[in-house]
């Protein structure tokens, strides 16, 4: 399920059941939660830096969607909920490795 705010239906692999819906509208997908044991919630506004230009949109697509999906999951009796924060939280570019060193986004394998 996705509202396709930052993606395209063409990117979904063949054989995957998909529904266009917004996480904030539980009524649009409540039936998908029936009989489910675990929900993986990975929804967020997909653009890094968007919070500077549109903080309301980012808030709605992170906090608002999380609250709605949690509420729907609770109402359906889902026992486990896994929240995956947006990678945009970490920014782009070089990341810190353990020990404070720097490493590139796409490290190469050692010979």
Instruction: Report the alpha-carbon distance of residue 9 to residue 4 in Å, rounded.
Output: 7
Q: What is the pTM of this model?
A: 0.69
Whether the per-residue pLDDT at 15 is higher than 60: the answer is: yes
Instruction: Report the alpha-carbon distance of residue 111 to residue 106 in Å, rounded.
Output: 16
Q: Which pLDDT score is estimated for 75?
A: 96
Percent of the chain with pLDDT over 90: 35
Whether the per-residue pLDDT at 77 is higher than 90: the answer is: yes
Q: Which pLDDT score is estimated for 46?
A: 66
Q: Which pLDDT score is estimated for 94?
A: 54
Q: Which pLDDT score is estimated for 71?
A: 96
Q: Could you give the dihedral angle defined by the CA atoms of residues 49, 44, 27 and 40, in that order, rounded to the nearest 10 degrees?
A: 180
Return the higher-pLDDT residue of 74 and 17. 74
Instruction: Report the alpha-carbon distance of residue 56 to residue 7 in Å, rounded.
Output: 20
Instruction: Report the alpha-carbon distance of residue 29 to residue 35 in Å, rounded.
Output: 13
């Amino acid at each position: 399920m996705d509202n396709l705010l930052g993606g395209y239906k063409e990117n979904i692999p063949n054989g995957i059941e998909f529904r266009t819906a917004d996480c904030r509208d539980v009524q649009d997908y409540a039936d998908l939660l029936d009989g489910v044991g675990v929900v993986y919630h990975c929804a967020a506004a997909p653009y890094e830096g968007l919070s500077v230009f549109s903080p309301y949109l980012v808030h709605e697509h992170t906090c608002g969607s999380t609250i709605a999906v949690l509420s729907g999951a609770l109402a359906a009796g889902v026992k486990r909920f896994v929240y995956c924060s947006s990678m945009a939280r970490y920014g782009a570019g070089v990341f810190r490795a353990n020990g404070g060193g720097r490493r590139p986004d796409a490290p190469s394998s050692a010979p």
